[in-house]
């Protein structure tokens, strides 16, 4: 006996709508009406993942066999410097600091600065392009002195000199841990003005009375540190201890250092930790930067430390620039959006060059490259309503009302045909109410591009400085 199901006009319409719904689902379209190009690779994510997570979730990677430093975001829930849950800088504030750093990098690369002297009698600062600490996002804790004192430092691949605040302060900003007291250490020693370490500084001076080396580091945002250049025992891990490590003992310090005790310099210059520990580590280090929302990452020195996925690391050549010998230059050859290479001439990237920088937040592209990226991204996001931009960002969306969103994938192609997919958290910045394309254009085509830390999140980034290559791997930390 046949089963008879009566259909009214309305039921016909309902059935038709249901059929369309099923067909759209089978074709991979979003059920809330989004139009997407068939077959294009997208990230499909819950919009809540765009909002900050108040809970610390340690990395899911097994690090039991690795000698490494724990890396956390300064304003993330895993940071002991954020235990009071103080208000993180707004997006506008963070980008203002970030742009100051980018501007100072451009100035340093335009002008090849000669050595400058520091007059200790007046403590005057020479007029030269300064560095910029920027937002100081990622921090590590290490030990200094005998007995060892644990100190939290911002680490920076764009700086060479490692420095900390020291007693007795002429002027010091507020920091999380007690300020380091050199007189309480059995291994602290000031360097004389005639030592090789003193001559390697960009800015140095000499005390007339004691012939002690002075150092200074100027930052483009008005921050600075001035003090004595000295040696001390540095403890990275219980098995990685370095007597006689040269560093700046800052007595006069001011600026936007976010409560850290100082800065760990990981540049390519002679004063950097990378160079000073080369006899043990072979000028080799790697890191994985965690997302702001929850997790922790790692900073590892030496090949023996390895990475969580060494077999999956792909290498691109490291390049040099005589105007910026401390920076890590790399070659960008193209950008892909949703799997398709954008129509950008390689000369757009190669003429000014590109650096990778742990201290710059947002990747800066040459204007023509950014225009191409923005145009294609907007085309593939037409199913979402754009909202007013903020600060550097001109491509922003309000995802309120959506449970999930589909965002086209973005990947960078580096020299040697090394393609690096940008993790989802590196594509957008903000929250579900204001989520912006996390890239910006330089003001001029002649300015150097910067591959920033927002796009490096959760990637294994391997610096084989002696081997002249830089490695990338996916899924380095959660």
Active-site residues, by number, are: 156, 357
As a whole number of angstroms, the distance between CA 198 and CA 260 comes to: 25
Q: Give, rounded to a whole angstrom, the gap between the first and last alpha carbons of the chain.
A: 59
Q: Say how far apart CA 182 and CA 189 lie, in whole Å.
A: 8
**Gap between the Cα atoms of 315 and 270, Å rounded:** 24
Which residues, including other chains, have CB under 8 Å from residue 439's CB and lie 6 or more apart?
362, 363, 364, 365, 370, 373, 374, 455
Residue 298, classed as helix, strand or coil, is strand
d(CA 108, CA 102): 10
Task: Count Cβ neighbours within 10 Å for each residue of 48-66 and write b for 16 or more, e otherwise.
Answer: eebeeeeeeeebebebeee
| Residues 82, 77: Cα–Cα separation, whole Å | 7
Cα–Cα distance between 213 and 198 in angstroms, integer?
6
Distance CA 314, CA 460 (A): 10
């Amino acid at each position: 006996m046949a089963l008879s199901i009566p259909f009214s006009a309305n039921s016909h319409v309902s059935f038709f709508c249901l059929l369309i719904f099923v067909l759209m689902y089978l074709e991979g379209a979003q059920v809330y009406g989004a139009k997407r190009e068939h077959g294009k690779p997208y990230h499909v994510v819950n919009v809540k993942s765009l909002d900050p997570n108040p809970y610390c979730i340690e990395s899911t990677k097994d690090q039991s066999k690795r000698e490494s430093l724990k890396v956390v975001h300064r304003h993330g829930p895993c940071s002991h410097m954020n235990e009071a849950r103080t208000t993180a800088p707004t997006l506008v504030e963070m980008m203002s600091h970030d742009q100051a750093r980018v501007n100072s990098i451009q100035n340093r690369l335009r002008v090849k600065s000669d050595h400058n002297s520091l007059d200790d009698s007046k403590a005057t600062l020479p007029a030269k392009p300064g560095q910029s600490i920027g937002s100081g996002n990622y921090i590590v804790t290490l030990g200094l002195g005998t007995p060892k004192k644990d100190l939290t430092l911002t680490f920076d691949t764009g700086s060479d000199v490692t420095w900390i605040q020291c007693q007795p302060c002429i002027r010091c900003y507020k920091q999380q841990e007690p300020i380091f007291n050199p007189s309480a250490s059995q291994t602290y020693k000031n360097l004389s003005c005639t030592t090789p370490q003193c001559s390697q500084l960009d800015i140095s001076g000499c005390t007339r009375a004691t012939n002690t080396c002075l150092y200074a580091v100027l930052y483009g945002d008005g921050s600075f540190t001035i003090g004595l250049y000295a040696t001390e025992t540095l403890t990275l891990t219980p098995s990685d201890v370095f007597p006689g490590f040269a560093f700046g003992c800052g007595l006069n310090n001011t600026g936007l250092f976010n409560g850290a005790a100082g800065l760990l310099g990981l540049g390519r210059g002679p004063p950097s930790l990378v160079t000073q520990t080369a006899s043990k580590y072979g000028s080799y280090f790697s890191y994985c930067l965690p997302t702001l929302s929850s997790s922790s990452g790692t900073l590892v020195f030496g090949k023996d430390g390895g990475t969580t996925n060494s077999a999956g690391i792909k290498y691109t050549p490291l390049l040099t620039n005589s105007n910026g010998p401390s920076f890590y230059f790399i070659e960008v050859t193209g950008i892909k959006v949703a799997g398709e290479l954008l129509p950008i001439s390689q000369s757009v990237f190669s003429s000014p060059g590109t650096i990778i920088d742990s201290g710059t937040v947002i990747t800066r592209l040459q204007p023509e490259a950014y225009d191409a990226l923005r145009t294609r991204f907007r085309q593939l996001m037409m199913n979402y309503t754009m909202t007013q931009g903020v600060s550097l960002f001109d491509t922003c969306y309000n995802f309120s009302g959506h449970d999930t969103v589909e965002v086209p994938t973005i990947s960078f192609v580096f020299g040697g045909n090394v393609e690096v997919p940008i993790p989802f958290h590196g594509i957008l910045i903000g929250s579900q109410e204001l989520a912006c394309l996390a890239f910006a254009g330089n003001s001029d085509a002649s300015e150097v591009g910067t591959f920033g830390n927002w796009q490096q999140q959760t990637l294994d980034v391997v610096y084989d400085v002696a081997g002249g290559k830089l490695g990338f791997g996916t899924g380095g930390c959660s």
